[in-house]
Each structure stands twice: as structure tokens, then as C-alpha cells.
């Protein structure tokens, strides 16, 4: 049972400080294709999310109601703007500053909405986060694990199977 204890301990979530969270760089999942479409209030991002892959998926698909076909998720205009800003270069704080300038929001209001939205995208496997080490934060060098974050989000299976709810910019539309 020692191996089980060590496995469970190694899988504990890493708790980040506020500074580390704001210095994290959101990186889009490379397995997700996206296009710009005309929306009600301007250009919107239409994401094509591939179905989960893996050797156990055929067995689990009937039990967990996993999709066989790619699903489409259309983001509203503000969600699409955040999606475009998650380019692997900007930090969470940098994205917040851009939104404050463009939409004349208070920093606190923008940060609360942005972090909630990014957390949802992360939980759905649409983005990953490259978290710089303390040394990298001081010089604001490109995080060395940005490539690692890109690779870890490349073919990550989606944890949710159905359409998405209208939460913070994501409108689930099946096409």
C-alpha cells in the first residue's frame, strides 16, 4: 500500500500564491481548433473540441456518455476576446490590464470575472497555465515550462461530455 500512498501524495494539487496565479500564462489547448464567426455583438470564437481519445474510451464511452464526434462551443464576444488574449505570451495580470483599458472596467471587477472565466476554461481542458518559478517572476522571463504546458494540453481528453452551460462567455451549441 506504500505505492498507493506515494501515488496519491504525488497527485496533490499545487496551491499557488496570488502573485504566482497572476503571473501564470494561459495557453490554449493545441488540440482545439477555432475560427472567428460573426456573432450578435461582433466577432465570436467558435471552438471545435475533439472527443476524448485513449485506449479505455471505447469501454467508458457508454458508461460516461462520452461524445463520439467533435463538439462545437461558441464563445460570446467578451469570452472570444479573452480567448484571443490567451496567446501563450500574456500573463493573467496582463490580460486583465488589457480588458480594463478596452472596456473601462475597474481592476478588481475585471480580475474577478477574468479569473473565474479562466478557471472554467481550465477545468474544461480548453486552456492550461504555465506557472513561472520565483526566479522567472523577478525577471519576467518566458516561463521555461510554457512548452510543457502546451504539450500537456495538446491531447488532453475533455472531462465533460455534454454541451456547455452559458457560464462566463461559453455558450454550448451543438452543430
| pLDDT per residue of the chain (175 residues) written in tens, 0 to 9 | 565 555 555 555 667 888 999 999 999 999 999 999 998 888 999 999 998 888 888 888 888 888 889 999 999 999 999 999 999 999 999 999 999 999 999 999 999 999 999 999 999 999 999 998 766 555 554 444 444 444 444 445 444 333 333 344 444 444 3
Question: CA-CA distance, 123 to 24, in Å (whole number)?
Answer: 16
Task: Report the pLDDT value the prediction gives residue 92, as an integer from 0 to 100.
Answer: 97
Distance (Å, whole) CA 82 – CA 122: 13
Set of cell numbers at residue 40: 450578435
Q: Residue 160's pLDDT is what?
A: 39
Q: Give the sign of the dihedral formed by CA 144, CA 33, CA 49, CA 110.
A: positive
> What's the rounded Cα separation, in Å, for the pair 47 and 73?
5
Amino acid at each position: 500500500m506504500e505505492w498507493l500512498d506515494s501515488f496519491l501524495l504525488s497527485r496533490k494539487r499545487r496551491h499557488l500564491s496570488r502573485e504566482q496565479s497572476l503571473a501564470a500564462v494561459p495557453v490554449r489547448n493545441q488540440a482545439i481548433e477555432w475560427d472567428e464567426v460573426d456573432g450578435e455583438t461582433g466577432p465570436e470564437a467558435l471552438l471545435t473540441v475533439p472527443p476524448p481519445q485513449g485506449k479505455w474510451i471505447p469501454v467508458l464511452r457508454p458508461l460516461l456518455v462520452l461524445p463520439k464526434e467533435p463538439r462545437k462551443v461558441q464563445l460570446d464576444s467578451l469570452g472570444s476576446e479573452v480567448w484571443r488574449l490567451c496567446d501563450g505570451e500574456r500573463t493573467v495580470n496582463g490580460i486583465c490590464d488589457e480588458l480594463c483599458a478596452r472596456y473601462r472596467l475597474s481592476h478588481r471587477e475585471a480580475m474577478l470575472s477574468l479569473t473565474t472565466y479562466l478557471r472554467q476554461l481550465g477545468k474544461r481542458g480548453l486552456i492550461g497555465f504555465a506557472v513561472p518559478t520565483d526566479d522567472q517572476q523577478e525577471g519576467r522571463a518566458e516561463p521555461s515550462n510554457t512548452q510543457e504546458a502546451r504539450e500537456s494540453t495538446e491531447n488532453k481528453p475533455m472531462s465533460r461530455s455534454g454541451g456547455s452551460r452559458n457560464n462566463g462567455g461559453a455558450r454550448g451549441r451543438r452543430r
